[in-house]
Amino acid sequence: MEKFNILLIDDIVENIYSLKMLIEDSFDVNTFWALKAQDAMSILMKENIDLILTDIQMPEIDGFEFIEYIRNIEKTKNIPTIFITGIYDKDEYKAKGYNLGAIEYITKPINNELLNSKLNIYIDLFKKRKLHEKEIASKDALLIYQSKFVAMGEMISMIAHQWRQPLTTLGLVLDRMNLLSNLGKLDENSFNESYQKSAKLIQHMSKTIDDFQDFYKDDEIKEALSIDEIINKSWELIKPLLNEESIDFKLSIAKDCKNTILNINSSKTSQVFLNLYKNSMDEFKSKKIVNPVIKVECFNVENYIVIEISDNAGGIPTQYINKIFEPYFSTKSKNGTGIGLYISKMIIEQNMNGSIDVLNKNDGACFVIKLQT
């Protein structure tokens, strides 16, 4: 299991060494140390610290100021902190520390048993949290596996749609060649024309297979793609189904974000968009929506790319809208697995450094994806 990381801060090096020895004699942990607040900040940015033990009286920036500062930083704001002090043990100082987010005070000279008992509590909580995170990761992995199987069925359906027209056309080309041959009219020009047309159709079908193979790549490799490429790649995959269902697909990408490059995993990103498109398509079908429309809009807001995917399927009932991203929750009576939107949220947050929300807008649901640029 991953080791517990403790950061020790004191401007007297002898205090650091003695505290370090006390801790490492009793616990199998990683200890980091700093003689001043600035060095401590560098460590906090580089390492994943689980507990801070800090002196209060230090030059330049004291312990109170240091804790107040790190509480305003996302990565460090929730790290538990224990003050170790010899002079700031009055109630007024303790109150100040607790108000800043300190969880404990230990006075000097340090009582070994007291220190060990307090560290035991936090190390035990750490182990339980890591075990819980492992269980969640295992469940998420199972959900991703399940979602791939669900998507596989949908993809097979899409391949069938993608191939239906070219196969029909290829059959007609071969029938024409056969007819011309029987009539003795299959000259070189006719043969070359039919051959080139057949080759283009086969190339198109081969590209379809390549596209779907890309979708099922089981890797974590990220590549640099423009917003335009990201959106169009998923649209190309589902276009035959949209056409067959007479669904109008409207795409609007603002000029200032069209060529914005993001480092993303292509297959996982396509999975997100396909989940959202398919969600709208299911709603159109179940509600028998006339003139169905899926609208995709992309624009810049400060340091974010915002992608809005909306439809005109009537929206999500108010009582369900806050549950829509929960695993196994579905508003579909029969065929919903309840994992598509949960997986999409997980991919966006963990693999795309973004967020996704949903709201009812105009006459349908609108999913809002924000990606940091």
Question: What is the DSSP code string of 212-256?
Answer: HHHHT------EEEEHHHHHHHHHHHHHHHHHHTT-EEEEEE-HH
pLDDT in tens, 54-65: 888 777 888 888
Which token pair is 373? 């640029």
Predicted model pTM: 0.51
Contact 242, 208 (CB under 8 A): no
What pLDDT score was predicted for residue 223? 79
| Domains of the chain with bracketed CATH | 5-110 (3.40.50.2300), 143-215 (1.10.287), 223-372 (3.30.565.10)
Residue type, 270: S
Q: pLDDT tens for the chain, 373 residues: list them.
A: 678 899 999 888 988 898 898 888 888 889 999 998 889 999 999 998 988 888 887 778 888 888 888 888 888 888 888 888 766 555 666 666 666 666 677 777 777 787 888 888 888 877 887 777 777 777 766 666 666 666 666 666 666 656 766 777 778 778 888 888 888 888 888 788 888 878 877 776 676 666 556 555 555 677 788 888 888 878 877 887 788 889 999 999 998 887 788 888 777 788 788 889 988 988 998 899 999 999 999 999 888 899 999 999 999 988 888 888 887 667 665 555 567 788 788 888 887 889 999 999 889 999 999 998 7
What pLDDT score was predicted for residue 90? 58
Taken as a whole, the chain contains a residue count of 373
Residue type, 227: I
The residues, ordered by sequence, that sit 6+ positions from 231 with a Cβ below 8 Å of its Cβ are 251, 253, 273, 296, 298, 307
What pLDDT score was predicted for residue 308? 95
Beta bridge partners of 309: 296, 367
Q: What are phi and psi of 295, to 5 degrees?
A: -120, 130
Alpha-carbon Rg for the chain in angstroms: 30
What pLDDT score was predicted for residue 250? 93
